[in-house]
Amino acid sequence: MAGSGRRPEHRGPPELFYDETEARKYTQNSRVVEIQSQMSERAVELLGLPEDHPCLLLDVGCGSGLSGDYISEEGHYWIGMDISRAMLDVAVEREVEGDLLLADVGHGIPFRPGMFDGCISISAVQWLCNADKKSHSPPKRLYRFFSTLYTALARGSRAVLQLYPENSEQLELITAQAMRAGFTGGMVVDYPNSAKAKKFFLCLFVGTSGTLPKGLGTECANEELHQAKFTNERTRFRNVKGKSVKKSRDWILEKKERRRRQGKEVRADTKYTGRKRRPHF
């Protein structure tokens, strides 16, 4: 269940809250899409993946595939897990490039050992702290999730989990179960002095003790200015690397070519590909 960029209110399990109507509203909200893209970009950056080398990533709580879109744009492959069928239905309609699995991550990560080069999760892990059924034990569900995730990740890889903890106790519970499962690492906090921009990223290492990345905005008095500067620099860097501007004709052609390589059915390219449609009145 991918996050909206604001602290979610707990109104029952995500598979019930995100019904078909909520899933569509969520995915069509431009503000949600923008924040989701920013947090996904930051999470992938914290993974420290090798450049010019496609990796296979796991997206926990992938929702309608908004975070997966960014992974695909960076040239990586991904598999997404989510407990909400309605969210995954929207992802299928959007023709995301990743593979999708309907599953409760509290039951564990059902993939073979060492399969993934990294894992990201946007606003999903805190849901495991809720006991939505009598049989649910948050510590046990968290440990089951982290221990099986540790096994599914390749040695030397990372998992970066963006989350919205309700309080310090919840934060300690999540971190403790991750460390108990074998991970090292810790919490990276971006913009710690800003109530609006503050973000928590649990950065976990598999098999090696890496240096914990530094949080953004820790040395900047003006948080919003620093955030804008960071975003602009990232945009320029992407263009310098030769990547096409999103939604441009070249960007669309590159996306279609990636889908062809994956063996998916794609419409033929024409002179109309990537053209903006005239508005209908």
Element (H, E) at 156: strand 153-163
Strands 199-205 and 56-60: unpaired
Return the amino acid letter for 233. Answer: E
Give the span between the Cα atoms of 160 and 121, in whole angstroms.
7
Q: What is the location of CATH 3.40.50.150 in the chain?
A: 8-230
Partners of 116 in the beta sheet?
Answer: 153
Predicted pLDDT at 242: 52
pTM, full prediction: 0.73
Helix (H) or strand (E) holding 202: strand 199-205
The top-level CATH class assigned to 8-230 is alpha beta
Quick one: which of 240, 236, 269 has its CA closest to 254? 269
> What is the pLDDT at residue 277?
58
pLDDT digits (tens, 9 = 90+) for 149-197: 999 999 999 999 999 988 999 999 999 999 999 999 999 999 999 888 8
